Structure formats: C-alpha cells, structure tokens
C-alpha cells in the first residue's frame, strides 16, 4: 500500500471508521492553562477544560506540557456535558506541586 501525504483538512464523504468499526461522528478540541497547586502524597486533584459538544462516554486524547512534573500521572475524561476533567495523581510519598501549564485535549465520538 502506498503512503499518502495530505497538506490540508481531510474530509471523508462516508465518515472515518474507528478501530471498533463505528463511524467517527465528531472530533472536538480544547486547551487551558491549569494550575493544580500542591497535591498531597498518594492523592489526586482534578481541574477542568470546557469543550463544547463533549459528552460523557466520548474518547479523550490529552496533550501534556513539554515537561510534565515527575511523580504525577495525568488522565483525561469527559466528566459532564461540555467538560473534560484532567486528573493529576501524585504517586510519590511526598507532596508535589506541578507547575502551571497548558493542557490540550481532543474529544472523539464513534
């Protein structure tokens, strides 16, 4: 199969197909500067990004800052309509204060 390169937006007249065979029905994006503050040892903190059109159950892809804070695991999920939650989990035995940074998300529904 030949490799194809695209230089602009890609549009499918029949819809793109996800790995499970379902058609991708929406792709949304958003970003925000988030400042979690100090997160206690073996604890977590949540902050949110507004993504208009996001719905609970949609898939989320997260873009971390260039240098994510060591000892913190980040997860992203749609927690309510139009709201993506970024969860920062401190997996260390001491408090960690992640630097304020911009986090991006892509929300996909299939």
Number of structural domains (the chain) is: 1
Asked whether residue 9 is domain-assigned, the answer is no
CA angle 88, 69, 83 (to 5 degrees): 35
Say what the pLDDT of residue 36 is. 97
Asked whether residue 24 is domain-assigned, the answer is no
Say what the pLDDT of residue 16 is. 67
Asked whether residue 21 is domain-assigned, the answer is no
Asked whether residue 93 is domain-assigned, the answer is yes
Asked whether residue 4 is domain-assigned, the answer is no
Q: Cα separation of 87 and 73, whole Å?
A: 8
Say what the pLDDT of residue 93 is. 98
Average pLDDT per block of 10 residues along the chain, 110 residues long: 59 63 86 97 98 96 94 97 98 96 93
Asked whether residue 12 is domain-assigned, the answer is no
Say what the pLDDT of residue 18 is. 63
Which string of DSSP letters, residue by residue, matches 77-110? Answer: EEEETTEEEEEEEE-SSS-B-PPPEEEEEEEEE-
Expressed as residue numbers, the domain containing 61 is 29-109
Say what the pLDDT of residue 24 is. 84
Say what the pLDDT of residue 110 is. 77
Q: Cα separation of 106 and 103, whole Å?
A: 11
């Amino acid at each position: 199969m030949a490799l194809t390169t695209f230089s602009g937006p890609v549009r499918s007249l029949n819809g793109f197909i996800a790995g499970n065979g379902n058609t991708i029905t929406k792709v949304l994006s958003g970003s925000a500067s988030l400042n979690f503050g100090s997160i206690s040892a073996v604890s977590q903190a949540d902050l949110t990004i507004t993504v208009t059109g996001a719905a609970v159950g949609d898939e989320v892809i997260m873009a971390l800052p260039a240098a994510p804070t060591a000892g913190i695991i980040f997860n992203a999920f749609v927690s309510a309509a139009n709201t993506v939650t970024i969860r920062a989990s401190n997996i260390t035995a001491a408090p960690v204060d992640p630097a304020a940074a911009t986090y991006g998300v892509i929300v996909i529904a299939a």
